[in-house]
Amino acid sequence: MSNQLYINEIKDLFDAVQRSKIFEDQKMMTDAVPLFPVSKINEDYQQLKDTEGFDLKSFVMSHFDFLGARVSIHREEHLPIEKHIEKLWDELTRTAYEEKGTLLKLPKPYIVPGGRFNEFFYWDSYFIMLGLKVSGRVEMMENIVENCSYLIQNVGFVPNASRTHFLSRSQPPYFSLMLDLLVETTQNENLYIQYHDTLEKEYAFWMNGEEDVEKGSGIKRVVRTIQGDILNRYYDAENAPRPESYLIDIEDKENASGEEFYRNIRSGCESGWDFSSRWFADGENIQTIETLNLAEVDLNCLLWHLESTLAKSSALQNRTEKENYFIERAAKRRQMINQYFWDENTEMYKDYHIIKNTKTPSEHIAALYPLFLGIADDQQAEAVAKAVSEKFLYQGGLVTTTKKSGQQWDLPNAWAPYQWLGFKAMKNYGFDDLAEKIKNNWCSNVERVYKNTGKLMEKYNALDTETIAGGGEYPNQDGFGWTNGVYLQLQQN
């Protein structure tokens, strides 16, 4: 798989395009497909750029193809929501059997989120699979698992999305949960054996650096606490502006402190929460982002699940030594999740600050993970359920944080993944009424927006169900993969 970023080969041109704002959305240029060899485009640009009457936009439009940059959905008739989603599965299906521009090739067809997101996304795909299961589209579920496995085997991990400029980061590691879902759907336990090597490879990626990391610091995605325990954090290998948000990052950096501002930004993207006050040292401003200083509760719960799955797949192969190794790792991590993320004072799961050796103040909905995965005890679950009911559940669904910062992963926005996590988490511990309320509040919000606009959105406003959700670096998108998946799955339960 080519790791060559053609964007690097046209550095000057790319920089000029992004700084001149000829496209409203900076992602347009990263997704463009060159119509000529990149060396030829570069040569033309260098020759022409200083000549009289040179028009940058005309030059770009004549040297690149922008046809695949967006997913547009046109619907004449107003179908019932489930029928609309069934049609959407086909409209959101893509193939990439060869590399095109920044798009990575994948062996199987896949579902894209929609709107400006016209490529395969990692954690989105799990929530898409929830809906594919309801729709009986088992082959597409298998395709998603196979594509993830292909990426892990060839790249070493599943990138944030299937583009060359995402080869420096992943997203929340959902592969083991995808396998659970596929096994549950097909009743084929052999899938754990079939993908054992893939599970191990992904685990090695997240644990890379473990041997060398010192107390109170981090190497890549691994941190060692002051007490000497190993936890994980989100990380990105690059410390440069994100190509897809190039100018935004450069402008935000102007008032930021710290040498690793760009890496902190990118590491926030690996979490899927781009962006949230959860990552900000002052709880308010993106310039204070410090993702690298935190070990996150969601990530460590997902890695507990990966360790547990590796124990299971080892057991199925009678590999006792391996099974015991992963049982021990999972047991140790379970204990550390309670030690480092459970905050006795507020009775809530929080992230852990590696340098300060404290829980972070941010109250956020990733506290659901220990309940979603059955790690919390009954007392902890009851306290989290109380917080969910009092602080996070509004008439339009569960919000992600209790802080209104203008960032899209903060109040007042409700995102599909956390409606499913919330519903399932509450069901796991017998809070059935609360689970129903989460489901009904969000689903009725989705139905209302669909009735008014004919669209399924990327995110929803949970507080003011009269308006469309906002915040973030780009407008709310229509499609939308994980909303479709979670809506269908919730309706089944």
Active site residue 274: yes
Contact 417/486 with Cβ under 8 angstroms? Answer: yes
Question: What string of DSSP letters covers 213-227?
Answer: PPBTEEETTEEE-TT
Q: What are the residues whose beta carbons fall under 8 Å from the beta carbon of 290, sequence distance 6 or more?
A: 258, 264, 279, 280, 281
Contact 269/169 with Cβ under 8 angstroms? Answer: yes
Could you say which of 270, 274, 296, 478 is catalytic? 274
Q: What are the residues whose beta carbons fall under 8 Å from the beta carbon of 127, sequence distance 6 or more?
A: 416, 417, 420, 481, 482, 485, 486
Could you say which of 202, 236, 410, 458 is catalytic? 458
Q: Interior CA angle at 81 toward 78 and 87, to 5°? A: 80
Cα(470)–Cα(313) distance, integer angstroms: 42
Give SS3 for 51.
coil
Task: For residue 456, report the phi and psi dihedrals to the nearest 5 degrees.
Answer: -110, 125
Identity (one letter) of the amino acid at 202?
Answer: E
Q: Which residues of 394-419 are buried (b: 16+ CB within 10 A; e: fewer)?
A: bebbbbbbbbebebbbbbbbbbbbbb
Cα(208)–Cα(237) distance, integer angstroms: 12
Identity (one letter) of the amino acid at 405?
Answer: S
Cα(311)–Cα(313) distance, integer angstroms: 6
Closest C-alpha among 458, 491, 493, 460 to residue 80: 491
Cα(384)–Cα(368) distance, integer angstroms: 7
Would you please indicate which residues are annotated as catalytic (active-site) residues?
Answer: 274, 458
